[in-house]
Amino acid sequence: MNKWIEVVELYKIPVLGSRLIKTRDMDIAVFRASDDSVFAINDVCPHKGGPLSQGIVHGHTVTCPLHNWKIDLETGHALAPDHGCAHLFPTKVEDGKVYLQLATEEAAC
């Protein structure tokens, strides 16, 4: 069973913004949509590695700041006509705290 890890308090993530969580192996962008949905995704754009955490959030999508690819935060996939996928991590919010699971095979691209 995968373990939930508390990473940040929800109020510390700006609405339509993100917080960067650094692990030993990677940087993870944790996004907060306008409806308070929270998504966690590897902070590497599937196009040329741009920092998705610095992108613009609209709906449940983030636009990469480098070349404007749009990444679906629910799936990690680039929206057509682009192709590619960023690794997505399961999230949950409990008592105002954001948790995510790092060891996820099913969430991989």
Binding positions for ligand FES, rule: CB under 6 A: 45, 47-50, 64, 66-67, 69
Residue 71 or 98: the one with the smaller Cβ distance to ligand FES is 71
End-to-end CA distance of the chain: 20
Strand positions, DSSP E, the chain: 4-9, 17-22, 27-32, 38-42, 56-58, 61-63, 70-72, 88-89, 91-94, 97-101
| Smallest distance, ligand FES to C-beta of residue 82, A | 8
Residue 7 or 64: the one with the smaller Cβ distance to ligand FES is 64
Number of residues that make up the chain:
109
Residue 40 or 98: the one with the smaller Cβ distance to ligand FES is 40
| Smallest distance, ligand FES to C-beta of residue 36, A | 26
